[in-house]
Structure 1
């Protein structure tokens, strides 16, 4: 059976112990945002996944994710690892997609249901709870924000008269209802054009809609620049990782250190190119993420890594960081050896690391020290490197 069919065929059983059902509308084309915004990456996760995780974590017993016909497999990829959700093929309008989601729910008519737009990814538990609580007293509820800016009409590039903002509110989602009442309201809709949202349908059916506090972070991703704003709103945490590596000296004519080949009367011995600086830095980045170490990702027992450039190891660690929505802030590498002299090559090493890591040069430090002829590095038996990497990740 195809993946899309498996998703749609997943058995759905409504559990009364859970507090609500939910529908995420993700069938739009997102043309103003550059297309398919629900699948785009935001903080290391698809936009759609943010809302799905929030609703499921808040206790949704079933979640209908309405996508464009044929996009079921893409939804399965975006929501991999989550349970209690299923994909539904949407319609030509938002209203048709909502109705398809409502029809697919297994909850009883008196169940609470939340309708949410995938384009509002930064949904939090407090907003969900405010909407659900309001449904204890009202048949429908809507999160809103006050209008802070002055409003003006305008045409042909010229500003016109002001608009009185008294009594005006900015509507958000999720919008909450009793499932049976919303289904009935849609069945009775007789407007000349499709409704703009579900509250419009509910009010046309005579349902009172309570207003609850919205969240300014629950912005709608409409234009390309909105993604940068949303990224800035994601809570982040700073982490520091450290790495250490050492290799023994052996016969050779050059050595690789921090991505730079240096002529020398010996070389470092290792399964790959034995670049201790890059190995230590790779471990520092992986360590900051809690993502194991270089040996977990590139086992020395695997013949494919014999003689491999350590650039690949470092780029792999950075790719994994970016996949989690993380950013590298700065790195600091210390090489510990008696020979070769590092200072003449330090600038080239910094420039190479900056290029590999896509960092500004002042965020890359390479230093060298000796052990005053003590230990294995002092006796010229090998070279050691230690590194520190600072990253930030979505919290």
Structure 2
């Protein structure tokens, strides 16, 4: 499944201030244009496929200036929108159809506070087979229906009512077909893509949205967003995206001539049993790194049943995990390993072990820690039947920072 993105940015934003201020998607919040914030969120999301931004024909120069400082903006496709949002989405879907996407997320450019948690939940619903997915939050205010006389006519029960957000996501072929059908019938009255899907008979699944995922509509919205980003009161999604992963591994000891720990061979009367070189320390750290970006565990990437890994140095596994982290926008900040063994002595080899980790991970020695403890002669470790390792990794991911 490949998820394409359509970001709708062709509107004029009449309610967001005077025409001299320009379209709201190009106003500056936190020192850069709204659309730059929005685009960066999707470019940094690890599941983003081809991205199409739909702009107004008059805004080519505005768009170029607004995205000049956006990393990887060169891989974004731009196309022109129509006189309505519905028509603009249709043009975006047409542009995306030639880019090998199977699914699509349709998002408003004026929602710059979209976070990866919402995107992950929407993608999970698509993975589960949903034809359409709508992020939404339950309505919490009491709703009133008024009349032309200016009086309250009734209180509307809010049970089961939700406020729709974007990105609204679908099978690309299905939502494009629904848009084509609406265009052929000259139906221009749909307020969002989920309503078109409902009209076309496509089931739409609700997933949890985010209260931060607001749409900047009026001038005050833009001022408040700028204040939050500029004066040190950011919503949760613009805090540094610091993640911590944990890993644990254990291998059995058997008669031999030594053990390999953190890439260092230590002569010993036993060896560790395992399909590779059985380096429990590197195995645990590999899992810890993969955990920071939800990339599974070591067995997913290097199955024990695969004979090519028999006797392989565990440096290969750790290097692979570090590469995945970097490809997903992560910077490794710290690695910490605790070895649990009665023997051999770890202290004489600690500096070499730390140096190996620093070289593989591409970080300084002071960011790599190796510790060792016994199990006070208790359990399988105390009986010298095996060695265990616990690892923790800290990674900062770009894309969710201000």
Which residue in 1 is equivalent to 2:12?
29
Q: State how far apart, in whole Å, the 2-side matches of 1:233 and 1:157 are.
A: 36
Alignment of 1:1-395 (within 5 A): 19-34=2-17, 35=19, 36-59=23-46, 60-80=48-68, 81=70, 82-105=73-96, 106-108=98-100, 111-136=102-127, 137-155=129-147, 156-189=149-182, 190=185, 192-234=187-229, 395=402
**Residues 105 and 167 of structure 2 are in contact (CA less than 8 Å); yes or no, is this contact kept in structure 1?**
yes
Give per-residue Cα distances to partners, 1:245-280, cap 9 Å, x unaligned.
xxxxxxxxxxxxxxxxxxxxxxxxxxxxxxxxxxxx
- What SS is found at the alignment partner of 1:83? helix
Q: State how far apart, in whole Å, the 2-side matches of 1:40 and 1:150 are.
A: 33
**Residues 136 and 165 of structure 2 are in contact (CA less than 8 Å); yes or no, is this contact kept in structure 1?**
yes
**Residues 29 and 229 of structure 2 are in contact (CA less than 8 Å); yes or no, is this contact kept in structure 1?**
no
**Residues 111 and 213 of structure 2 are in contact (CA less than 8 Å); yes or no, is this contact kept in structure 1?**
yes
**Residues 63 and 85 of structure 1 are in contact (CA less than 8 Å); yes or no, is this contact kept in structure 2?**
yes
1:200 Cα offset (Å)? 1.1
**Residues 30 and 230 of structure 2 are in contact (CA less than 8 Å); yes or no, is this contact kept in structure 1?**
no
Q: State how far apart, in whole Å, the 1-side matches of 2:42 and 2:230 are.
A: 18
1:62 Cα offset (Å)? 1.7
Aligned pair count reads: 222
**Residues 165 and 209 of structure 2 are in contact (CA less than 8 Å); yes or no, is this contact kept in structure 1?**
yes
Give per-residue Cα distances to partners, 1:92-150, cap 9 Å, x unaligned.
111110111111113336x1211000111111111111111111220110100101110
Q: State how far apart, in whole Å, the 1-side matches of 2:30 and 2:51 are.
A: 23
- What SS is found at the alignment partner of 1:71? helix
- What SS is found at the alignment partner of 2:58? coil
**Residues 30 and 227 of structure 2 are in contact (CA less than 8 Å); yes or no, is this contact kept in structure 1?**
no
Q: 1:235 to 1:144 in 2, by over 3 A?
A: farther
| Uncovered stretches (5+) of structure 1, i.e. residues with no partner | 1-15, 239-393
Q: State how far apart, in whole Å, the 1-side matches of 2:67 and 2:34 are.
A: 10
Q: State how far apart, in whole Å, the 2-side matches of 1:178 and 1:168 are.
A: 25
Q: State how far apart, in whole Å, the 2-side matches of 1:133 and 1:83 are.
A: 28
1:167 Cα offset (Å)? 1.4
- What SS is found at the alignment partner of 2:41? helix
What's the TM-score, normalizing by structure 1? 0.53
Give per-residue Cα distances to partners, 1:190-234, cap 9 Å, x unaligned.
474331111111112211111010111111111111123323544
Output the aligned Cα RMSD. Answer: 2.1
Larger gyration radius, structure 1 or structure 2: 1
- What SS is found at the alignment partner of 2:57? coil
Q: State how far apart, in whole Å, the 1-side matches of 2:202 and 2:208 are.
A: 19
1:166 Cα offset (Å)? 1.4
